[in-house]
């Protein structure tokens, strides 16, 4: 009876951990949202064919812009002003972090796609890479291709709208 209770408890903990691993927290300032796998899957997906470590990949997932729209980031018009001093910090399950300028996801600023991949070659990402992987399609070296992404934060870094005196 005790063994059964321990096994059931362990299974429940594993299932809760797996469910938590499928969520994605996105924030900008005080606005934060935790997205389920179904919510991420429901976002429009794009593809990016890239070569990383001498292997070809056909990644698919929502653009980072569409994910960040959930917390008010709008790239339907060219970014300007304080948005040009904003950064995106992406954190993986192991604590690995990468940073992009917010303007790097602005289609008026650059053509390359930045996406949050959830599949490669039509198959869900495996546990070592997923459930989400950042893909910056024109990076020569995939150092910013964070695996097992769990959190994405927009950091507003503008300190003043006035230029400092020389």
All domains in the chain, ordered by first residue: 2-156 (3.90.420.10)
pLDDT for the residue numbered 8: 44
The CA distances from residue 53 to 117, 140, 150, in Å, are: 17, 10, 23
Which residues of the chain are modeled with pLDDT < 50? 3-20
Report the distance separating Cα 115 and Cα 123, nearest Å. 16
Report the distance separating Cα 139 and Cα 23, nearest Å. 26
Round the average pLDDT of the chain to a whole number and report it. Answer: 86
Q: Which two tokens stand for residue 103?
A: 């303007």
13-60 pLDDT tens trace: 333 334 345 899 999 999 999 999 999 999 999 999 988 888 899 999
pLDDT for the residue numbered 32: 97
**Non-local CB neighbours of 77 within 8 Å, separated by 6+ positions:** 108
Sign of CA dihedral 48, 51, 55, 56: positive
Per the CB < 8 A criterion, the answer to whether 25 and 152 are in contact is yes
Taking alpha carbons only, the member of 1, 10, 28, 55 closest to residue 151 is 28
Residue 158 has phi, psi (to 5 degrees) of -60, 130
CA dihedral 40, 113, 31, 91 (to 10 degrees): 80
pLDDT for the residue numbered 115: 95
Taking alpha carbons only, the member of 88, 114, 113 closest to residue 100 is 88
């Amino acid at each position: 009876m005790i063994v059964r209770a321990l096994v059931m408890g362990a299974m429940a903990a594993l299932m809760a951990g797996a469910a938590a691993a499928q969520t994605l927290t996105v924030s900008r300032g005080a606005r934060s949202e935790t997205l389920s796998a179904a919510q991420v899957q429901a976002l429009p997906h794009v593809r990016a064919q890239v070569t990383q470590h001498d292997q070809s990949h056909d990644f698919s997932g929502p653009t980072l812009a569409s994910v960040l729209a959930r917390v008010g980031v709008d790239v339907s018009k060219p970014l300007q002003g304080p948005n040009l001093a904003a950064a995106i910090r992406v954190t993986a399950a192991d604590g690995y972090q990468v940073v992009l300028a917010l303007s790097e996801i602005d289609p008026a600023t650059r053509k390359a796609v930045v996406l949050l991949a959830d599949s490669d070659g039509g198959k869900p990402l495996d546990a070592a890479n997923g459930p989400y992987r950042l893909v910056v399609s024109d990076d020569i070296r995939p150092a910013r291709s964070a695996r097992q992404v769990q959190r994405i934060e927009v950091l507003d870094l503008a300190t003043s709208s006035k230029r400092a005196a020389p």
